[in-house]
Amino acid sequence: MVNKKKVMRIVLVILSLVLFLTACGKKDAEKDTEKDTDDTEQTDQGVIEDDPDEDDKVIEEPGDPQQGGSVIVGITQELDSLDPYLAAAAGTKEVIYNFFDGLVKLMPDGTFEPALAESFDFSDDATEFTFKIRTGVKFHNGDDLTLDDVVYSLERAAGMLPDSEAALIPQLAIIESVSADTEAGTVTVKLKESDADFITYMTLAIIPQDYTEQAQKPIGTGPFIFTEYKTQTHLKMKRNPDYWRDRTAYLDEVTFMIVPDADAAIMDLQEGNFDIFPYLTIDKAELLKDKYDFIAADSNMVQIWGLNNQRAPFDDPVVRKAINMAIDKQMLIDAVTFGEGRVLESGMAPPMQDYYNADLTSPYNPEEAKSMLEEAGYQDLKIEITVPGDYVIHVQTAEVLAEQLKQIGVTAEVKTVDWGTWLSDVYMGRNYDSTVIALTFDYVAPATVLRHYYSKSDNNFINFVSTEFDELYEAALSETDHAKRVELYHQMQKILQDDAASVFLQNPGTQTAVIKTLGGYTTYPQYVQDMYTVYFK
């Protein structure tokens, strides 16, 4: 039986090899975390010594901003083009935000402050805007910001360059001409028609003239400089030491790690592998509260159950109203976003500040909804809800809606399609019964928010037609008096509710996990991850 022993010995050797491999992994894990903490400590101290000229006051009290350090931000979307005018994904825009400045900057409270423009002015009919451009601003490549760069940026975005076919930013298609006055240091923009929201679009990134590699290596004037991008993996940026504001960013380096599924990243979060992770649902907070602070982020997302107003049975306002009454929105919010959402009554969300009409309420009354349907002669109504399957929140919403509709005897079939198909069949082709989708907006402009219900718009995918609404919408565009505009937008929202254009569901709230050693994370009523304000405590 000597042989048996030999075999066993060899088997043991191999098995111990396997164990060794596993053990290696474990040891390495411990080493790594040690190294990580070392790193941050070193850089913290290192920067304070290295750059005494950066910040005169070296703050050493805990809790106050410290200069230096590097953070890892988890983002949940693949990046598309890095060119600020070609990037379409909200996930890309919120990252490249850090490379650029606009003529104006959106503040956390929804107001606008001059940025690359020192000041701005506009004519009473909102057709002519004049910006005084700041001097002494440098692009990341070392060139000075000139008036020509501003003119080029606006013209490129508006599709006015000789080789362009359409406006890259559709809202800017109304620009008629852009001219520079070198003596006064101003740039004047003339519009084809009046647009009181125009100033909100001027958060547009200003880029250097005739630089052709924006899509691969973006260059702007922003607080961070692009260093590296690896597809599907990460995007790295470093601090811009020549930033034009009174201080540079606190952080030395920021890495955006791409993890397309927040749920799958939960293990990494539990080990503290990310410093900042936006768009988590509140139920995750319980699992992660030891390591992270949770900051509720406002979103200007309007989640609606879009009803195709041209298609039976939704062409009948009675059906739309009855369905509106049958939906328990609070229960939906509890089920889908774990209570982190605000009930909406119309097509605008609270982050739109005073434009949002907060006076609207709607009753939840399934009994009456049922009798309304019966009176109108609808029995055993069968409808289809088409949802983009890539978005878990919409799929779950549709599932809950279908369940709630059972109470009033309506059978809803949930159909998922992929995003590309949704865009072409539902959004553009308008070939659907109903759909659940969130409308988001690149600019905090009330007109872009309500554009989806303007009957002459490409984006009116629910086929809503109301001449009254259209008139108000057109009036609001040319109205420059703030109070009157607010009134017009309130009326529009009232019409949307009265006509039951669709079922307006919720303004979903999301949570950003910020590791406890970080401070200064700021949220905006727009999708941005502003790293300028973030610091180590």
Closest to other proteins by CB, 185 or 272: 272
- Shortest Cβ 265–other proteins spacing (Å): 7
Task: Please give the Cα distance from 428 to 446 (Å, whole number).
Answer: 22
Contact of 516 with 291, CB cutoff 8 Å: yes
- Shortest Cβ 224–other proteins spacing (Å): 20
Closest to other proteins by CB, 120 or 536: 536
74, containing H or E segment: strand 70-75
Closest to other proteins by CB, 350 or 389: 389
Closest to other proteins by CB, 282 or 376: 282
* Token pair belonging to 347: 């097509």
Closest to other proteins by CB, 41 or 458: 458
From residue 338, how far is each of 37, 216, 284, 435, 509 by CA, in Å? Answer: 34, 39, 10, 22, 10
- Shortest Cβ 26–other proteins spacing (Å): 6
Nearest to 187 by CA among 140, 135, 111, 125: 135
Spatial CB neighbours of 437, under 8 Å, sequence gap ≥ 6 = 303, 304, 306, 387, 388, 394, 422
Closest to other proteins by CB, 407 or 522: 407
- Shortest Cβ 509–other proteins spacing (Å): 17
- Shortest Cβ 427–other proteins spacing (Å): 6
Task: Please give the Cα distance from 330 to 312 (Å, whole number).
Answer: 28
Contact of 394 with 430, CB cutoff 8 Å: no
* Token pair belonging to 280: 């988590």
Nearest to 275 by CA among 289, 255, 249, 304: 255
Paired with 247 in beta bridges are none
- Shortest Cβ 491–other proteins spacing (Å): 24
CB-hemisphere CA count at 13 Å for 377?
1
Angle (deg, nearest 10), helices 317-326 and 366-375? 160
Closest to other proteins by CB, 223 or 508: 508
- Shortest Cβ 123–other proteins spacing (Å): 26
- Shortest Cβ 13–other proteins spacing (Å): 9
- Shortest Cβ 460–other proteins spacing (Å): 12
Spatial CB neighbours of 241, under 8 Å, sequence gap ≥ 6 = 54, 248
- Shortest Cβ 135–other proteins spacing (Å): 33
Q: How do strand 434-439 and strand 382-388 relate by DSSP bridges? A: parallel
From residue 110, how far is each of 46, 300, 487 by CA, in Å? Answer: 37, 11, 18
Task: Please give the Cα distance from 490 to 476 (Å, whole number).
Answer: 11
Closest to other proteins by CB, 48 or 285: 285
Closest to other proteins by CB, 4 or 57: 4
Task: Please give the Cα distance from 176 to 165 (Å, whole number).
Answer: 15
- Shortest Cβ 286–other proteins spacing (Å): 8
Q: 349: burial class by Cβ within 10 Å (0-12, 13-18, 19+)?
A: buried
Closest to other proteins by CB, 125 or 228: 228
Closest to other proteins by CB, 458 or 468: 458
343, containing H or E segment: strand 341-343
